[in-house]
A and B are shown apart, each in its own frame.
Chain A
Amino acid sequence: MTAGELGVVKCETCNLVMRAPGDDAECSRCGERVVVRKPLSRCVALVIAAVALYFPANVLPMMKTEQFPLHRSDTILSGIKFLWREGSWELAVLVFTASILVPLTKLLALGFLLITSWRRSAWRPRARTNLYRVIEAIGHWSMLDVFVVSLLTAVVQLGRFANVEPGAAVLPFASVVVLTMLASASFDPRTIWDGVREVQHE
């Protein structure tokens, strides 16, 4: 038995249980917006935005380093390659995980969850819920690159000899991370189970 099946809805803010509204409504007690399900469209829009910005974030240079007399301009991938070749493979793995693997996993996972929810799939709802928990948990860790660049930019300002400047990819990359976090927050995991209910009904 779910709240939906009972035709009731709970206010997320003040926990007042009400009859399920037919449409957009607000809590009769605290005025919070009350919906049966958060709309998928919101999450879809954010994921699309994140995917769009994912390309410039990886293609454009992330960090421009000037270490007299060498100029380097690194994208995320070339930076990882550089770290790997220089022997700092632990760092390379760390940066790869935080900057490539996590955002990519999040985008793919969200996409997968959105599609299955939209199709009201009843396929392994429990596993999908776990997946959602994972992406909620790891979402914050992708900002590593952005933090590194911001920190280096602030610290390494030795004029001609060594200089670090943020590249054009910083903004798109930070946006990707923020957008995926917002997207995962706006995803309503209850939609995972909606298909399950329908299956039980039949």
Chain B
Amino acid sequence: MSEVNLDELPAPNVRQHKRGRPSAIWIVPIVAIVAASALAVRTYLRAGPTIYITFESADSLEVGKSDVRYKNVPVGKITDISITDDLKQITATVQLSRGAANLAVEDTKFWVERPRIGVGGVSGLGTLLSGAYIGVDVGSSTTKAENFIGLEKPPGVLHDQVGKRFRLTTHDAGSLVVRSPVYLQRQQVGAISELALSPDGKSVEMEMFIDAPYDRDVTDGTVFWNASGLDVTLDAAGLRLDTQSLTTVIAGGIAFGYRDADHPGKPAAENTKYVLFEDRPHAMAKPDTVSLPLAVRFDKPLRGVAPGTVVDFDGTRVGTVDDVRPGYDAARGTFFTDVDATVFPERLGAAYAGLVSEGTRTGKTGPDMLQALVPRGLRAQLRSGNLLTGTFFIALVLDPTAKAATVTPRDGVWVVPSEPGGADQIQDQVGEIVSKIDKIPFDQIGTDVHDATRAASTLLGHVDHEVVPDATKLVAQAQLAMAALREGLAAIRDNVAAPDSPIQQSARSTLEELDRAAFSLRGLADFLKHHPETILRGRDSGPEPH
């Protein structure tokens, strides 16, 4: 290769291009930086506030896995779980997403959603596989908060449910639990949202939530009763089984209605307090506005009378026994029993109203009028309500033939003297019967029965050996006799019953003979009717009778 003169090499064509303008390649990093920052900003903006929720335990909660869901939409994640300083609870740190920032207000409730089999059915079944999550019920407050106390159970009422809360008090909640349904006309219109013992521990206080629009059906005239379980009534109409729904049988429930269905009253305000009655009859009963203490002294110990025993006035349950106190009468040297009860005279209805109106004319009060019944023969008796279960009740009866009795009147107390009642008599009679039974010489009878049995068995052996063979022969002979008899009967049947039997034949001809004779007699009779004289004079040669 020869030497190359570098200067002879061709020169490249110089390109025209604008100077001072940066190369287009710089657009690439600018776009990249903008895109990266946009992503960063978006990620930053998407992150909402961090909140801290304390729970009793972190059971089935997992960092990074368990999320927070509002209406089943994930709105945050658990980023950390730690134990509180007092080692009693756990704190779940939750990173909420940006859109869910408004969730974190003061009255928001958080709970751990786990699979639950409860009153309202099965819930949270999905969490069996996916693991637990934290449920949210957003509060209505506008004050932001970041520390929350988690509930261990889902709340009975969610915040966005429309309706009203009412309060109920009862002495016996029975099988009622949170979420037990509330029924109106057997339709579920709400549920118990909270249930707790009253501070004094004597009653149970409940809060229930009635969904709109049925909350308007809760009025000042509404009565609530416990509709739990089965209500089996056996009365003159037969057996009646009453239940609100199958759920109430298992899980309990509350029903409500009106004492006066035609005038339900005005809708009640939120948080109105009601009393929960034990059942529908109690709820529907007129409220007892007048109560009156009743004092009765029985001259003997009372078995089967305890607080709660019914006081009955002429068949109407007017009250219950409050206290039973035995005592000793030193003057007479006898024991007695004082019974204190509370009665509600208005349960007597028109009877009491009549007494009151009679009293107003003479200027006396209703209790005065009741006390005035004592001189007219009002007595208290202990009666047996049910012989099988041995329950007793105290009956107030008007017995005009009762022996005069004096009572020491006490102010404001209805003091009624006692007299031996049906129960006593029955007891006495039963006692007599028992003593009579006692006198029966069971031993002697037993021996006699034993002897008789032995004699009978001897006799039977005798029968077995001697009588039975004879009897067998007898039976065979009887059979023969029966066969003969049957033959005889057949012969008779052939002779008598067959249409062509001689007896039938002769009987028929005899009857025909008789028929003809009767015809002749009729002719004679007619003739004689027309010619009665022939009896005396004989028949002249007149025309022949026809």
Counting contact residues on chain B (CB < 8 A from A), the size range is 20 to 34
Known: A19-B6, A21-B11, A28-B11. A56 touches B28 (CB 8 A): no
A-side contacts of B11, CB under 8 Å: 18-19, 21, 25, 28
B-side contacts of A70, CB under 8 Å: 130
The answer to whether A59 and B43 have CB atoms under 8 Å apart is yes
B10 to A, closest residue via Cβ: A28
Which A171-188 residues sit within 8 Å CB-CB of chain B?
172, 175, 179
- A31 vs chain B, min Cβ distance (A): 8
- Residue A34 CB within 8 A of the other chain: yes
- Residue A80 CB within 8 A of the other chain: no
The answer to whether A53 and B40 have CB atoms under 8 Å apart is no
- Residue A9 CB within 8 A of the other chain: yes
B38 to A, closest residue via Cβ: A56
A168 to B, closest residue via Cβ: B39
The answer to whether B29 and A69 have CB atoms under 8 Å apart is no
The answer to whether A52 and B29 have CB atoms under 8 Å apart is yes
The answer to whether B129 and A69 have CB atoms under 8 Å apart is yes
- Residue A126 CB within 8 A of the other chain: no
A-side contacts of B36, CB under 8 Å: 52-53, 55-56, 172
B16 to A, closest residue via Cβ: A24
- The total of interchain contacts (Cβ-Cβ below 8 angstroms) comes to 97
- B87 vs chain A, min Cβ distance (A): 30
B37 to A, closest residue via Cβ: A52
A-side contacts of B10, CB under 8 Å: 16, 18-19, 28-29
Which A27-72 residues sit within 8 Å CB-CB of chain B?
27-29, 31, 33-34, 39, 41-42, 45-46, 48-50, 52-53, 55-56, 59-60, 68-70
The answer to whether A179 and B40 have CB atoms under 8 Å apart is no
- Residue A156 CB within 8 A of the other chain: no
State the interface size on chain A (CB cutoff 8 A).
Answer: 41
- Residue B442 CB within 8 A of the other chain: no
- A85 vs chain B, min Cβ distance (A): 13
Known: A69-B129, A70-B130. A19 touches B7 (CB 8 A): yes
In the complex, what distance in Å separates the CA atom of A19 from the CA atom of B13? 11
Known: A6-B6, A56-B40. A175 touches B13 (CB 8 A): no
- B79 vs chain A, min Cβ distance (A): 14
A59 to B, closest residue via Cβ: B43
Secondary structure at the A interface, as helix, strand, loop or mixed, is mixed
In the complex, what distance in Å separates the CA atom of A179 from the CA atom of B28? 9
A-side contacts of B99, CB under 8 Å: none
A-side contacts of B535, CB under 8 Å: none
The answer to whether B25 and A55 have CB atoms under 8 Å apart is no
Which B1-58 residues sit within 8 Å CB-CB of chain A?
6-7, 9-15, 17, 23, 25-26, 28-29, 31-33, 35-36, 39-40, 43
- B25 vs chain A, min Cβ distance (A): 5
A-side contacts of B14, CB under 8 Å: 21-25
A171 to B, closest residue via Cβ: B35
The answer to whether B129 and A8 have CB atoms under 8 Å apart is no
- Residue A91 CB within 8 A of the other chain: no
Can you name 28 A-B residue pairings with CB atoms under 8 Å?
A7-B6, A9-B12, A18-B9, A19-B6, A23-B14, A24-B15, A24-B17, A25-B12, A25-B14, A26-B15, A28-B11, A28-B12, A28-B13, A34-B12, A42-B23, A46-B25, A46-B28, A49-B29, A49-B33, A52-B29, A52-B32, A52-B33, A53-B35, A56-B36, A59-B43, A68-B129, A172-B35, A179-B28
In the complex, the 6 A-B pairs of residues with the closest C-beta atoms, listed nearest first: A49-B32, A25-B12, A48-B29, A49-B29, A69-B130, A69-B129
11 further A-B pairs in the complex, CB-CB below 8 A; given A26-B13, A172-B39, A179-B28: A8-B6, A8-B9, A18-B11, A25-B15, A26-B15, A39-B23, A41-B26, A55-B40, A56-B36, A60-B43, A69-B129
Enumerate chain B interface residues (CB-CB to A < 8 A).
6-7, 9-15, 17, 23, 25-26, 28-29, 31-33, 35-36, 39-40, 43, 126, 129-130
